[in-house]
Amino acid sequence: MSAKINEDLIRERKNCTFDVQELIHIIDGGEENTMQRKQVENFVLNQKELWDDVPEEYLSHKERYENAIKKASFILNWFREFNRNNIENSDLRAPSKIYSIQEGIFRNINPLLIHIGLFWTPLKNQASAEQQAEWLKPDSKMIGTYAQTELGHGSYLKGIETTATFDPQTDEFILNSPQITSYKWWPGGLGKTANSCLVMAQLYINGTCHGLHLFLVQIRDYETHEPLPGIAVGEIGPKMGFNTADNGFLGFDNYRIPRTNLLMRNVQVLRDGTYVKPKHSKLTYESMVLTRVTLITDLGFQLSRAATIAVRYSAVRHQSQIKSNEPECQILDFVTQQHKLFISIASSHALRVIGLWMWNTHKKVTADIQKGNMDELPELHALACCLKAICSRDAVCLVEQCRLSCGGNGYLMSSNLPQIYANTTAAIIYEGEYTVLLLQTARYLIKSWKSATEHKALPPNVAYLADFIERRYGQWQNSPEGIIRGFKAVAAGKTKTAYDTLQRYLKNGREREEAWNLTSVQLIIASEAYARSLLCDVFWRETKQLSTTVSRNLATVLEQLAELYLVYWALEKHGDLLLYSTISRDDIDALQERYEELLALIRPNAVGLVDAFDIRDEVLCSTLGAYDGRVYERLMEEASKSPLNTEVVNESFHKYMRPVLMKNKL
């Protein structure tokens, strides 16, 4: 960190009305977690071999990958030791910022991320005790990935074509990719890194298909790293982002694995070929649900990076005048800039809060499952689907809004905003595509609406459906609680509309899936409304509860952020509120006035709020958003690193341009 701090930032920090350190501890989940995170950062970020002399943008595709693997190997070894020493004494499996330092080290993505997350987690959750004892040894040589998506099928899991056929003679499964569309496509780390793979395939026994199951498959030799016979594997090429990850393709040609490589915690195939089915069909996808839960918190962190960059830049950047005969003002003083950025700060907190709430919900449901109680699994699945979808869309839109708020300099790779956007936008697609996830939640909502009309008991998160039927929402109130009730009315009204439309198609003789397709636009709108009502309800409720445990000044600021979030979305969705609640035009005018009041109230604390995200410059990786505010100096320093600036006249002038100019002269 530079000793010289920009004067504007010094002044902004002096004007902050709350204790920034207190909020840092809250975001980290406690002072102890903050101390632990800083210890990790101080050690890892001081390792010289992790830092590049040449910006990643100037490396070739191959050089980027090799550089990332060098760093990933160091990080993997270090975190293995760290977790071994700390995992028993802290809740490190809960969402944590400790691992966020990787954002600075890789700028792009850790090529071993899938190995750390989507490979080991299913093994722990879906392998039997005997399998875990064999596979999860400390000296394991496996570097893994998770292969589900295929060239021809992504979200439609039933259409997956890879087959695993049981051979009773040899006690093996034979894996095959029947055609080109059957090739696994996209798994991170598959192209060149992984030697093992969790493969989702259709299980066949004696000609009968038992549906999709997970198999542990070795794909490369543990010593030479050469692909094994019967394996076709490689990398799929450059992408919009994540170019340090070797996303790959994988095909099988009569490739044999032991029967015991089927993950058998919830399902079994016995030696004689007897199939023992799982107690619940959704148990196979429990790991995917967990991934969607953790993604919400990750998205909140990415948004906090973008907001930090844009707010600090807006405090340093001076442009135009608000009052005549005064110097050019900070662009953060323009209300339009506050409108773009303060919702990003608020939304980052909303995603962090809903992410932790979902984590605790998942933890409770998982504990119930282990006791044999599956009652809440459908609701957990529905919650994870719609919240992952809406949170990813919100994060992407707001990261882009932060980038646009920085003008032309936000277009520079050195701002890091294009990279944050590229990495964040992928989340709308991976681990469940946006529309498909919302349609999965819609199935839950349609069933819940039917139960509500039959006066059956409803889970707490959809109890608002009964309130809507009984018309218990009452007169509109311009308060946070009133807005939340309004959003619940919108969610219920849109669910009813979708349900009625679906029933109309069915009564007119349409087949179920055809009727579902014809209603699908209304169905996803209902799911979007459900997710928004959950975000508003949980964010406000958890913030109010937190406010009772923190200092008064901080409580005031946190409630302002939460209220800003509610009012912002009430104004964005005022058409829906007019349709389904008792809000009036005067109420909307009052909300607009309150929104602008909140922008003014938050303005003095804007820099303090992003400082409280406590993202080190090495993790932020931005010329625009560093703590010291030396924006223009950093932009010039970064520009000087361009290879084009190593010579005064590029050889292309003499080779190509000069002959053309001389010809024109003649």
Residue in this structure with the two tokens 């707490």, named with its chain if needed: 460
Query: Whole-angstrom Cα distance, residue 381 to residue 477?
Result: 33
607 and 12 Cβ atoms separated by less than 8 Å: yes
Q: In angstroms, how far apart are the furthest CA atoms of the chain? A: 91
Query: Whole-angstrom Cα distance, residue 610 to residue 619?
Result: 14
518 and 571 Cβ atoms separated by less than 8 Å: no
Query: Whole-angstrom Cα distance, residue 309 to residue 610?
Result: 9
Residues 6 or more apart from 302 whose CB is under 8 A from it? Answer: 395, 399, 420, 423, 424
184 and 150 Cβ atoms separated by less than 8 Å: yes
Q: Which of 170, 153, 171 is nearest to 161 (CA)?
A: 153
* Total residue length of the chain: 666
Write the pLDDT tens digit of every residue in 44-82: 888 888 888 888 889 999 999 998 899 888 888 877 777
| Average pLDDT taken over every residue of the chain | 92
User: Is the pLDDT confidence value at 88 over 50?
Assistant: no
Residue in this structure with the two tokens 């002269």, named with its chain if needed: 665
User: Is the pLDDT confidence value at 91 over 50?
Assistant: no
Residue 93: how many CB atoms within 10 A of its CB? 13
Query: Whole-angstrom Cα distance, residue 222 to residue 140?
Result: 10
Query: pTM of the prediction?
Result: 0.93
Catalytic residue among 431, 542, 563, 618: 431
> Is the dihedral angle over the CA atoms 400, 402, 408, 414 positive or is it negative?
negative
Query: Half-sphere exposure of 66 toward its Cβ, with a 13 Å CA cutoff?
Result: 5
- Does 431 qualify as catalytic in the annotation? yes
Cα-based distances in Å from 309 to 304, 489, 610, 626: 9, 37, 9, 7
pLDDT of res. 278: 83
Cα-based distances in Å from 59 to 65, 245, 414, 609: 9, 14, 15, 35
162 and 176 Cβ atoms separated by less than 8 Å: yes
Three-class DSSP category at 584? coil
pLDDT of res. 92: 41
3-class SS string, 543-570: HHHHHCCCCHHHHHHHHHHHHHHHHHHH
Residue in this structure with the two tokens 């707001």, named with its chain if needed: 398
Dihedral of CA atoms 354, 360, 361, 364 in degrees, nearest 10, equals 180
Tokens of 23: 């909020």
388 and 295 Cβ atoms separated by less than 8 Å: yes
Opening angle at CA 79, ends 73 and 85, nearest 5:
145
- Tell me the mean pLDDT in the region 606-621: 96
| Contacts within 8 Å (CB) and 24+ apart, 137-142 | 141/195, 141/222, 142/195, 142/196, 142/218
Residue in this structure with the two tokens 């004494």, named with its chain if needed: 89
- Tell me the mean pLDDT in the region 225-253: 95
Write the pLDDT tens digit of every residue in 616-662: 999 999 999 999 999 999 999 999 999 999 999 999 999 999 888 88
Tokens of 234: 């490689």
Q: Which of 272, 93, 63 is nearest to 169 (CA)?
A: 272
488 and 464 Cβ atoms separated by less than 8 Å: yes
Q: Which of 463, 297, 446, 441 is nearest to 383 (CA)?
A: 441
pLDDT of res. 87: 45
497 pLDDT band, cuts 50/70/90, is very high
312 and 626 Cβ atoms separated by less than 8 Å: yes
pLDDT of res. 46: 86
Write the pLDDT tens digit of every residue in 296-342: 999 999 999 999 999 999 999 999 989 888 899 999 999 999 999 99
